[in-house]
Amino acid sequence: MASALPTLAIPGQRLGPVSSYASGPGTHVQNANIYASIAGPVLVDPASSKAGKSTLSVSRSPLRKAGNAAPVPPSTPKATAPSTSKPRYNTLPAVDSIVLARVTRVQKRQATVSILVVLDETANQAPASTASASDNDNIESILTSAANPENHSNTDELRFQALIRKEDVRAVEKDRVVMDEMFRVGDIVRGTVISLGDQSFYYLTTARNDLGVVMARSEAGNMMFPVSWKEMRDPVTGAAELRKVARPF
């Protein structure tokens, strides 16, 4: 009765009975059977408790890159199978996520930034080791490339917008913050999401030592390096500029 699960599911393909599995994302239940709703590899999530059932789900991998999924045998509900790492797609900024953003507008009481990359725990530990699978994963190319109107997929207007308020720039001396001395347009800022905000803007904070400006260009257009918590210096001209500098790793 219970046949092996297919590696790749086609919409409408029967995956298994409801008595053996629970229906997850990408599947639907009809007449006591679980069917695939989208095309992609089949994932079996082991049951969290002993009395529960394994969860069947179909992942929406990019169809041109999938194929490395090994055929997963149907595990019994009592067996404890090692949990495989779930593929990660369409990462959204959540509360306490660390993001990299580009400053697009600096006003008197707030700064508008455009979120470029959402960092996660593994990217913090080893940011260079992750293989670039898509455009959003290539962090170096996103940060070094300027805002190009020709490349529409990288336009800052299409990305999530966020605000850094004056009170959230640093943890001490909040009343004496001058926004022009903290950020400039075009700087790359590392921040933490403190709120999902309203319909248009997330809310970021840089009120930690490891948050702030990580990459900035000087007036002459050269890439500056940080020298203190509030100062960056141009290696060519030697001129110093004021920023809210993030502590390097």
Partner 1 sequence: MPLDTSTTYPLTKLRLDGRRWNELRLLQAQISTNPASSGSSYLAMGNTAIICSVHGPAEGRRGDATGGSAGSAGAIVEVDVNVAGFAGVDRKRRAGGSDKQSSRIGTILRSAFQSHLHTYLYPHSTISIHVSVLSADGSLLAAAVNACTLALVDAGIPMPGLLCACTAGMSGSASTPRDPNNDELDPLLDLSLPEEQELPFLTVGTTTTVPVGEAAMINDDEDEMKVSMLTMDSKVHCTYVETMLAVGIDGCKQIREILEGVIKKSARR
By beta-carbon proximity to partner 1, the closer residue of 88 and 247 is: 88
By beta-carbon proximity to partner 1, the closer residue of 33 and 91 is: 33
Binder to partner 1 among 5, 15, 23, 26 (CB under 8 A)?
26
By beta-carbon proximity to partner 1, the closer residue of 11 and 186 is: 11
Q: What is the CA radius of gyration of the chain?
A: 23
Which amino acid, residue 137? Answer: D
Sites for partner 1 among residues 114-153 (CB under 8 A): none
Binder to partner 1 among 4, 32, 126, 172 (CB under 8 A)?
32
By beta-carbon proximity to partner 1, the closer residue of 49 and 134 is: 134
3-state secondary structure the chain: CCCCCCCEECCCCEEEECCCEEECCCEEEECCEEEECCCEEEEEECCCCCCCCEEEEECCCCCCCCCCCCCCCCCCCCCCCCCCCCCCCCCCCCCCCEEEEEEEEECCCEEEEEEEEEECHHHHHCCCCCCCCCHHHCHHHHHHCCCCCCCHHHCHHHCCEEEEEHHHCCCCCHHHCCHHHCCCCCCEEEEEEEECCCCCEEEEECCCCCCEEEECECCCCCECEECCCCEEECCCCCCEEECCECCCC
Q: How far is the CB of 249 from partner 1 (least distance, A)?
A: 34
Binder to partner 1 among 24, 60, 139, 242 (CB under 8 A)?
60
The stretch among 34-42, 160-168, 180-188, 220-228 that binds partner 1 (CB under 8 A) is 34-42
Q: How far is the CB of 73 from partner 1 (least distance, A)?
A: 19
The stretch among 59-67, 75-83, 110-118, 225-233 that binds partner 1 (CB under 8 A) is 59-67
Written as six digits, the tokens of 218 are 């000087």
Under the binding rule (CB under 8 A), the answer on residue 63 touching partner 1 is yes
- Over the window 67 to 106, marking each residue x when it contacts partner 1 by CB under 8 A and - when it does not, the resulting string is x---------------------------------------
Residues at the contact surface with partner 1, assessed by CB under 8 A: 8, 10-12, 14, 17, 26, 28, 30-33, 35, 37-41, 60-61, 63-64, 66-67
